[in-house]
Structure 1
Amino acid sequence: MLQVIALGGLGEIGLNMMVFETQDQILVVDAGLMFPEDYMLGVDLVLPDFSYLRPRKNQIRGIILTHGHEDHTGALPYLLPEISVPVFGTRLTLGLVREKLQEFNLHGKAELIEAAPGQTLELGPFRVELIATSHSIADGVGLAIQTPAGTVIHTGDFKLDPTPVDGRRMDLNAFARYGDQGVLALLSDSTNVEQEGYTPSEREVGRALDEVFHNAPARIIVAAFSSNIHRVQQVLDTAAQFGRKVIIHGRSMESNTRIASELGYLRLPANLIAGLDQLDQIPEDRLVVLTTGSQGEPLSALARMARDEHKQVRIKRGDTVVLSSKFIPGHEKAIHNLINELCRRGAEVIHEKVSEIHVSGHASQEELKLMIGLVRPQYFVPIHGEYRHLVRHIRLARQMGIPAENCFLAEDGDIISFDEEGGFLAGRIPTGRILVDGKGVGDVGDRVLRERRILGEDGVVVATVLVDQASRALQGEICLESRGFIFEEESQTLLQAAKDHLAEALANLPPERRASVDALREEIRITLRRFFKKAIFRRPEVVPVVVEI
């Protein structure tokens, strides 16, 4: 029997992590993170729940990474200290992972094993071939996972790019070869399933960049994802073509371009790169600044430029700012605020809504149909997408002739099993999301998020009550202090009414409840929240403090 379980990536964008289990042996594909959603106040990162793997760590034969994006690799620094297993990936993927592990002081402590497209790995009952794919990062692969139950194809993130920037085309012949041999199940990327037709080639961005560089009267500031090495290459090539120097700025951009250059994935034209200390020495119509911050991240270099808080680069009239990336759902407000600030300082801002300055790295409908047609699987499982994406992808698979009963609409934690009788959903395992806040991992849950939301929306009231330890009678006046709730100086009447109401409620408590500090705290909290809701339609977080004297 083969069991396939998603610990993340089925029902959300990001958090990608799949478990394959047969003959008491486990293979893990990817270990990604997700950036927090709007309601996750104060949270830095979201990780898959590793609980299923911890008691089975001795059964894990390895982790195979499909590519170097953080939504497929970012959980490794949190997983590997607990579960030390070999990690397999292509050269660039492991180069980026190695840099990330170094940030966590894990350099040299993880077993990273390089594998190339076309290579086959023997991992216990799993025989896995890496298949070259095209994506918005170089060196991505899909996987042909051969098991005793049959072959499973995992596409990874992919698109069919006929004219890739690095000349490395997707190995469609390998997918077709497995289709001819017989494929048990296809697990296919669903991210862009709502987009009709074909995803444009990355080279289309180069044409848009040509137009931008041709028309720009002064400095050009390009913000892009630092992992999109093909995009970085096109910016560098276009800058060289127009005789401009390039300043690479931002920690991740500097790091990733260095790694890609050292590993041979990025070509740096001679005499092209300049340092930030040369900013004032280069004529403005001969300068490009390549940086990060295209999603409006508040601490990014571009955001600091937009707020006029950057020490070296100040946005001014005549500057052309290019946001060469997708508006990621959930980041729209931050991006729009960034664009407004840049425009306010006189910059011309070019982004995907007004120019072909970005193309997706994911397959659109016709490419997804082609993948199904090449592989011709017996069973189909859409992966990497929100629930609506998975539903739409199944609809596409049924159009391609796969029976409805052979399409599995699974979510994180669902167990997809294959045995001699066929494929079926075989229950669930407990799973969820682990929130990272600063150095705390997993110590923030729903209750903390709910309290943070209340604090953000209605503020906090601290109520201090003095109680005689012997008689349990109230002593002195109740003290109410608030933050983010009301102007205390202008609301003394309301606060005094709240104190009087609370004093009356506590005086009427039965003696046995007044004897309990916990009961007093609960009465204070409930009474004040009800009072404020009735009086001004607000429900602040109430922090009761009971002092026995």
Structure 2
Amino acid sequence: MTVPAADELLFLPLGGAGEIGMNLNLYGHAGKWLMVDLGIAFGDDSTPGIEVVMPDPAFIEERRDDLVGIVLTHAHEDHLGAVPDLWPRLRAPVYASPFAASVLRRKLAEAGLTDAVPITEIALGARFTVAPFELEMITMTHSIPEPNALAIRTKFGTVFHTGDWKIDPEPLLGEVTDEATLKRIGEEGALAMVCDSTNVFVEGEAGSEAMVRANLEKLVKPRKCRVAVTCFASNLARVESIAKAAVAAGRHPVLAGRAVQRMVEAAQECGYLLDFPECVAEREAGYLPRDKVLYICTGSQGEPRAAMAKIASGEHRDVVLESGDTAIFSSRVIPGNERSVGRLQNELLARGIEVITDRDVEIHVSGHPARDELVRVYQWVRPKIAVPVHGEIRHMMEHAALARGCQVPETVLAPNGVLVRLAPGPATIVDHVHAGRLARDGDIVAPVQGEALRERRKLLWNGSASATLVIDDQGQPLAPPRVSLHGIADTEGEIVQAAMAALDEMLADLSAAERHDNSRIEEAARQAVRRVVRAHLGKKPLTDVHVVRI
């Protein structure tokens, strides 16, 4: 399906449905497409050397003349982080709240795209048109300033796209969820609700940031040595809570990490955190007594280049933690990051640093709705169709069951690449499209399943081997074969010797015609080396063969 018809409304997720992170949602109507969010996720052990992964926009890139706009719900990386990398492929106008626009402009400047991307700032609660769609920003509560849901209106009715949200009566930063507008949408008659599924397995409610602030103050005050607290840099209410806990304990707060420094700057530019405690610069904090400093650090998810990882390894230029100091993780572990966070915490513990997490003290609340909050919003909005997103398949399936329990007439399970017709008629899956993954690899963006990254994964698990054969024009050897192994244990040289013997045998077994064919020699040599390594170690190394004919 290339062009959305005038008499239909389509929904297509290309990221963030069937996974947590890298959100990219498309709505199609009257020949045009609207994109909601364009985010990233972070690499893991399955993507060696890759820090950032993002959705492949190939489907909409082929139709970019029909892409009328990119609307960003809020400033989290998994909702706007891919704009600098992917906007040149799309070249559509961007719409965002003032804070999200401020964060995005900083990212675009780093990418060399200053003033290249047309950004329209949309005031909180405002209505605006991106024809043929009529849109309304709806204030929600989340773990970042200015989180927005969207009311997307067409002649078929209103789609309520939640973005990330929770219900917090004391958010500390920003406004409470706009309950009145949500109820109004329900009274007008909502066609569909496309909703966050992250915490659908969590009973009750997410909890309030005010409770976390009080607990952090109690936790920091009795400490006698240095304290470092890590959290999501974008959780500015939490950053402020940590800074205020430092001041209450007679300590000077220090912002450690570029991401948290940029976020505070963006917030203050937009009128938030104007009474933020005065901070000491990283390079000067080392002169403070150990009981007079508190570091607010990036790296709560074990990111190797973030401040907390550098501190734990002793590689940070300005910040040191020693035995007797305390590291506090005021965050939850994002699914998939368990190993990296575990490594980081073990490294800190091995240096004699006390580690405190949300398992020990209530120092984190989620920015996503638990079950009671989901039920409440379904009761307010009363959609005809529930479309769970922002979760793994198990989250989405449980969310669909919850929606049915809330008497929602229709539910649709639409993982990435599933094209859904929301109207007219019952919600129907009408097609499946490509929904791949791209990786930022150094300064380029490449397919996750492309040849280069496939070879890197093979190297990670199996190592590599190279062989050089020097032969004459008749294919007869002029010197013994040379074999090198990389990432393959061969302390006695036994595998190399066996591979060299196998290459001699391979050449002797080739026919005269085959010995004149370099490609045939290369393939036979590759197979011979791989057989030897597999026989010794059970591995299939990535193998290169060089034939030198003299």
CA gap of 1:418–1:295, structure 2 versus 1, over 3 A, is: closer
- Residue from 150, 159, 166 that aligns with 1:159: 166
**Rounded Cα–Cα distance in structure 1 between residues aligned with 2:96 and 2:538:** 56
Q: Is the CA contact 2:522–2:545 (under 8 Å) kept in the aligned structure 1?
A: yes
Q: After the TM superposition, which residues 242-261 of structure 1 pair with which residues of structure 2 at under 5 Å, given as runs?
A: 242-261=249-268
**Rounded Cα–Cα distance in structure 2 between residues aligned with 1:443 and 1:131:** 35
1:417 counterpart SS class? strand
Q: Is the CA contact 2:206–2:368 (under 8 Å) kept in the aligned structure 1?
A: yes
Q: Is the CA contact 1:416–1:424 (under 8 Å) kept in the aligned structure 2?
A: yes
**Rounded Cα–Cα distance in structure 1 between residues aligned with 2:523 and 2:199:** 50
Counterpart position of 2:443: 439
**Rounded Cα–Cα distance in structure 2 between residues aligned with 1:443 and 1:366:** 40
Letter matched to residue 468 of structure 2: T
Greater alpha carbon shift after TM alignment, 376-385 vs 272-281: 272-281
The structure 1 segments of at least 4 consecutive aligned residues displaced by more than 6 Å after TM superposition are none
**Rounded Cα–Cα distance in structure 1 between residues aligned with 2:429 and 2:336:** 32
The share of aligned pairs that are identical, in percent, is 36
Counterpart position of 1:294: 300
**Rounded Cα–Cα distance in structure 1 between residues aligned with 2:216 and 2:293:** 14
- Residue from 480, 487, 501 that aligns with 1:477: 480
Q: Is the CA contact 1:163–1:201 (under 8 Å) kept in the aligned structure 2?
A: yes
| Per-residue deviation, 1:152 | 0.6
1:222 aligns with 2:229: yes
Greater alpha carbon shift after TM alignment, 23-32 vs 304-313: 304-313
- Uncovered stretches (5+) of structure 1, i.e. residues with no partner: none
CA gap of 1:432–1:158, structure 2 versus 1, over 3 A, is: same
CA gap of 1:494–1:346, structure 2 versus 1, over 3 A, is: closer
Counterpart position of 2:330: 324
Q: Is the CA contact 1:128–1:144 (under 8 Å) kept in the aligned structure 2?
A: yes
1:343 aligns with 2:331: no
Q: Is the CA contact 1:435–1:444 (under 8 Å) kept in the aligned structure 2?
A: yes
- Residue from 284, 292, 301 that aligns with 1:278: 284
Counterpart position of 1:353: 359
Counterpart position of 1:464: 468
Q: Is the CA contact 1:324–1:352 (under 8 Å) kept in the aligned structure 2?
A: yes
Letter matched to residue 531 of structure 2: R
1:418 aligns with 2:422: yes
Q: Deviations over 1:482-537 (max 9, x none)?
A: 1211235x12x432222222222232223443332222211111222122212332
CA gap of 1:494–1:78, structure 2 versus 1, over 3 A, is: closer
Letter matched to residue 231 of structure 2: A
**Rounded Cα–Cα distance in structure 2 between residues aligned with 1:281 and 1:183:** 59
Q: Is the CA contact 1:8–1:16 (under 8 Å) kept in the aligned structure 2?
A: yes
Q: After the TM superposition, which residues 160-239 of structure 1 pair with which residues of structure 2 at under 5 Å, given as runs?
A: 160-166=167-173, 168-239=175-246
Letter matched to residue 441 of structure 2: D
Q: Is the CA contact 1:44–1:438 (under 8 Å) kept in the aligned structure 2?
A: no
1:109 aligns with 2:116: yes
Counterpart position of 1:17: 24
- Residue from 447, 458, 467 that aligns with 1:454: 458
| Per-residue deviation, 1:313 | 2.0
Greater alpha carbon shift after TM alignment, 195-204 vs 50-59: 50-59
1:288 counterpart SS class? strand
Counterpart position of 2:321: 315
| Per-residue deviation, 1:281 | 4.1
Counterpart position of 1:371: 377
2:219 counterpart SS class? helix
**Rounded Cα–Cα distance in structure 2 between residues aligned with 1:257 and 1:369:** 34
Q: Deviations over 1:44-85 (max 9, x none)?
A: 311211212223222222111110001000111122223222
Greater alpha carbon shift after TM alignment, 79-88 vs 248-257: 79-88
Counterpart position of 2:3: none
| Per-residue deviation, 1:167 | 5.4
| Per-residue deviation, 1:443 | 5.6
**Rounded Cα–Cα distance in structure 2 between residues aligned with 1:275 and 1:297:** 22
TM-score (normalizing by structure 1): 0.95
Letter matched to residue 9 of structure 1: G
Residues matched between the structures, number: 543
| Per-residue deviation, 1:448 | 3.1
2:136 counterpart SS class? strand
- Residue from 139, 142, 145 that aligns with 1:138: 145
| Per-residue deviation, 1:365 | 1.1
**Rounded Cα–Cα distance in structure 2 between residues aligned with 1:250 and 1:432:** 32
Report the RMSD for the aligned CA atoms in angstroms.
Answer: 1.7
| Per-residue deviation, 1:9 | 0.8
Counterpart position of 2:547: 546
TM-score (normalizing by structure 2): 0.95
**Rounded Cα–Cα distance in structure 2 between residues aligned with 1:59 and 1:241:** 55
Q: Is the CA contact 2:144–2:236 (under 8 Å) kept in the aligned structure 1?
A: yes
Q: After the TM superposition, which residues 488-507 of structure 1 pair with which residues of structure 2 at under 5 Å, given as runs?
A: 490-491=492-493, 493-507=494-508
**Rounded Cα–Cα distance in structure 1 between residues aligned with 2:95 and 2:413:** 28
2:225 counterpart SS class? coil
CA gap of 1:358–1:450, structure 2 versus 1, over 3 A, is: same
1:533 aligns with 2:540: no
